[in-house]
């Protein structure tokens, strides 16, 4: 038996999405820029997909641009805002994803002012500090704050954030990679300038995503070449990825409540049993407050037995993650756990769920964990 509890890193492709993509691979071979029938057919499929994504976000069609994923979308927003919109300062947080923090570090080297808002021990943004930063006269400003953290699941109130940015005349970018398809977002009600999505976080294909750019914003091309994606991102479109993304988003949004309930139940059951059975368990982030239901970061007390926990879980047939999945595959320290000042001697494991997971899998993981970490003395009898 293998149990996949690493759905914040990526999700398995759903059967319906696979079928949609296979069909596109068989049928949609024309170049969407060609004017003949084969080309027009592919163009129509791309525009159908765009329409679907726009509809689920409350956006207009012209505000959605397909990209290669969350990393590209975030780069596009941050670098584009500085290059084309005269943004002089970006306020962000130390718990953002590296595909936000690294571009920002480079922008800082070339003169953009980067300011970090204070976050608390649950990873929540201190709105008073944000307001203070915004009130300081410091040039044309954009705020870049993620909707949900990928390691600990802490959520920000996007409406409150949007209102604050709006009242202070700042642009707003939100890395919504962890929440698109999971938490409703309606840009016709919540004013946001940029947000990013990635299909592989909601059972779509890897290497495909999108950026929402509010139609008041005019950026120059991010990738130069042909006039694809209305000149914003040149290159023949990833038609199979795009059709897969739209199908996956449709399934995620149409079944959102049902999936959320299921995942919430699994998570609550896991939390309860961890607390009942194991010694000195802690949870990182705002786990009992405003958080993403799929993500649970568990902190085990220091012990030689928990040292290689993620590896031992893998050997026992369980995929989870220590901190976040690093591109080299190595487990490095977590900048998120450092930023929320967790005890570095404890062992953090991120378990993240999807609607494909079951209660039996939760029981299986708990049984395996019992052989790996310290049990409560009463439970161990
Ligand atoms: N932002 C967050 C919060 C993420 O969790 C991820 C993926 O791990 C990304 C951005 C990057 O997305 P992608 O893998 O599509 O480039």
Counting from 1 in the atom list of ligand 1, the atom nearest the Cα of 324 is 8
Residue among 131, 192, 188, 140 at smallest CA distance from 164:
131
pLDDT grade, residue 378 (50/70/90)?
A: low
How confident is the model over 287-326, as pLDDT tens digits?
999 999 999 999 999 988 777 999 999 999 999 998 644 4
Record the pTM: 0.96
| Predicted local confidence at residue 266, as pLDDT | 98
Tokens 């909707």 sit on residue: 147
pLDDT grade, residue 102 (50/70/90)?
A: very high
Q: At 145, which CATH number? A: 3.40.640.10
Q: Which of 7, 76, 173, 177 to mutate to test the pocket of ligand 1 (most atoms within 8 A of CB)?
A: 177
Residue minimizing CA distance to atom 10 of ligand 1 = 70
Report whether 284 contacts 340 (CB < 8 A): yes
Chosen domain end from 219, 254, 289 = 254
Alpha helices in the chain (DSSP H): 15-27, 37-57, 70-85, 98-109, 127-135, 158-167, 239-254, 256-277, 309-315, 335-339, 359-370, 377-380
Mean pLDDT of the chain: 95
Q: What percent of the chain has pLDDT over 90?
A: 92
What is the domain count for the chain?
A: 2
Q: With 60 as the cut, is the pLDDT of residue 373 above it?
A: yes
Q: With 50 as the cut, is the pLDDT of residue 374 above it?
A: yes
Chosen domain end from 210, 233, 254 = 254
Instruction: Give the pLDDT mean for 192-221.
Output: 97
48/196 same-domain check: yes
The dihedral over CA atoms of 46, 47, 48, 49, expressed in degrees to the nearest 10, equals: 50
Cα–Cα distance for residue pair 274/152, rounded to 1 Å = 17
Give the domain range for residue 298.
Answer: 3-11+256-369
Can 269 be counted among the known catalytic residues? no
134/228 same-domain check: yes
Q: With 80 as the cut, is the pLDDT of residue 109 above it?
A: yes
Q: Note whether residue 374 is domain-resident.
A: no
Report whether 152 contacts 299 (CB < 8 A): no
Chosen domain end from 205, 224, 254 = 254
Instruction: Give the pLDDT mean for 175-201.
Output: 98
């Amino acid at each position: 038996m293998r149990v996949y509890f690493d759905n914040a890193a990526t999700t398995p492709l759903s059967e319906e999405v696979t079928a949609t993509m296979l069909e596109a691979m068989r049928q949609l071979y024309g170049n969407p820029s060609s004017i003949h029938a084969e080309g027009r057919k592919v163009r129509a499929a791309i525009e159908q997909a765009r329409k679907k994504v726009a509809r689920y976000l409350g956006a207009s069609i012209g505000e959605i641009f397909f990209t290669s994923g969350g990393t590209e979308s975030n780069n596009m927003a941050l670098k584009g805002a500085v290059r084309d919109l005269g943004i002089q300062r970006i306020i962000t947080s130390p718990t953002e994803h590296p595909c936000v923090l690294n571009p920002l570090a480079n922008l800082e080297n070339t003169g953009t002012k980067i300011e970090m808002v204070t976050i608390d021990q649950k990873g929540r943004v201190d709105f008073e500090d944000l307001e203070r930063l915004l009130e300081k006269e410091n040039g044309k400003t954009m705020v870049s704050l993620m909707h949900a953290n990928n390691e600990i699941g802490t959520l920000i109130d996007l409406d409150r954030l949007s209102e604050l940015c709006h009242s202070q005349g700042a642009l707003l970018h939100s890395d919504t990679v962890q929440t698109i398809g999971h938490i409703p977002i309606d840009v016709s009600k919540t004013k946001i300038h940029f947000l990013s999505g990635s299909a592989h976080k909601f059972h779509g294909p890897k290497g495909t995503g999108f950026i929402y750019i509010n139609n008041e914003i005019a950026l120059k091309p991010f990738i130069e070449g042909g006039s694809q994606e209305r000149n914003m991102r040149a290159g023949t479109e990833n038609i199979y990825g795009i059709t897969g993304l739209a199908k996956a988003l449709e399934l995620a949004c149409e079944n959102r409540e049902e999936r959320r309930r299921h995942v919430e139940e699994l998570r609550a059951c896991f939390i309860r049993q961890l607390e009942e059975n194991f010694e000195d368990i802690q949870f990182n982030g705002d786990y009992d407050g405003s958080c993403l239901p799929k993500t649970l970061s568990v902190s085990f007390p220091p012990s030689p037995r928990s040292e290689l926990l993620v590896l031992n879980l893998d050997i026992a047939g369980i995929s989870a993650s220590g901190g976040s999945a690093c591109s080299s595959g190595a487990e490095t320290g977590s900048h998120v756990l450092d930023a929320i000042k967790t005890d570095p001697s404890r062992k953090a494991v991120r378990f993240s769920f999807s609607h494909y997971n079951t209660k039996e899998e939760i029981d299986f993981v708990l049984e395996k964990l019992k052989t790996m970490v310290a049990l409560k003395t009463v439970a161990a009898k």
